[in-house]
Structure 1
Amino acid sequence: MATGLLTDEAAEQIVTTCRTAVGDSFRSATYFTRDDYEQLYLREDLERDADLSTFIGHEWRGFTTAQTAYENSELGDYNYTIRVFDNGFLIRVTNESEGVLVTTDGLTLKDFEEVATALNSFLGERALD
């Protein structure tokens, strides 16, 4: 499963983290940087026709916009984004150089917090390497 962006181990760690946190509600996971992306997982019952390059471009710009807009606010540091759609949810966990998009079926806020915390930890460990 080596992507060129991630080792097999890192890609599997993201997928396992998401699967553990959200179980059967897990729809997809895509790892991205400013310049590239790789879909790491797509549940078998879903179509493979999403325009990921557009999604990634929007989510990267969204991250930088949100981070700048809320900088030094009383809300504290930006952590992650949840987007709600008719047929599922998207969670974006991003740092200065990379991120992960995860799509799910219905979840609780606690489930989102769990997956975001685990992915933030993963991205933080990579930043130290």
Structure 2
Amino acid sequence: MATGLLNAEIADQIETTCRTAIGDSLRSVTYFTRDDYEQLYLREDLERDADLSTFIGHEWRGFKTAQTAYQQSELGDYNYTIRVFDNGFLIRVTSDREGVFVTTDGLTIKDFEEVATAVETVLSDRAIQ
């Protein structure tokens, strides 16, 4: 599904990381920046009709709001967001310049932690390059 926002190697690495961490419960993977997005994976049984541009705008603003709101909180640094819906979950891992949101069927908190850590590692490694 790559459209060119990411090079194919990084896009493949993010998708593979999510598929490995989540397995068959993975629904979709979308990479985004403030201005653009690229859906890297969509499970075959799902419709391709989601309004991703609206999702991206909301997730980017949500990251900035959460990051600011919880700065210097006794809870520690903000790490990632999990959203719970009737038909699945969304996990958002974001840095100051890019992010990934992943949708899934049911997972455990441990599963969410594993995928968040794996995606954060890919994004961090990309920032260093």
TM-score of the pair, normalised by structure 2: 0.98
| Residue of structure 1 equivalent to 2:33 | 33
SS of equivalent to 1:74: coil
Identity among equivalent positions (%) equals 81
Structure 2 residue ranges without an equivalent (≥5): none
* C-alpha RMSD of matched pairs (Å): 0.8
Instruction: Give 1:115's aligned amino acid.
Output: V
Following superposition, the deviation at residue 66 of structure 1 comes to 0.1
SS of equivalent to 1:23: helix
Structure 1 residue ranges without an equivalent (≥5): none
Instruction: Give 2:25's aligned amino acid.
Output: S
How many residue pairs get matched? 129
Q: Deviations over 1:24-49 (max 9, x none)?
A: 00000000011100101000000111
| Residue of structure 1 equivalent to 2:6 | 6
| Residue of structure 1 equivalent to 2:23 | 23
Structure 1 residues 60-79: aligned runs within 5 Å: 60-79=60-79
Following superposition, the deviation at residue 2 of structure 1 comes to 4.4
Moved over 3 A (4+): none
- The CA distance in 2 between the partners of 1:124 and 1:3, in whole Å, is 22
TM-score of the pair, normalised by structure 1: 0.98
- The CA distance in 1 between the partners of 2:56 and 2:109, in whole Å, is 23
- The CA distance in 1 between the partners of 2:7 and 2:33, in whole Å, is 14
Instruction: Give 2:54's aligned amino acid.
Output: T
Contact 2:31–2:38 (8 Å) recurs in 1: yes
Instruction: Give 1:75's aligned amino acid.
Output: L
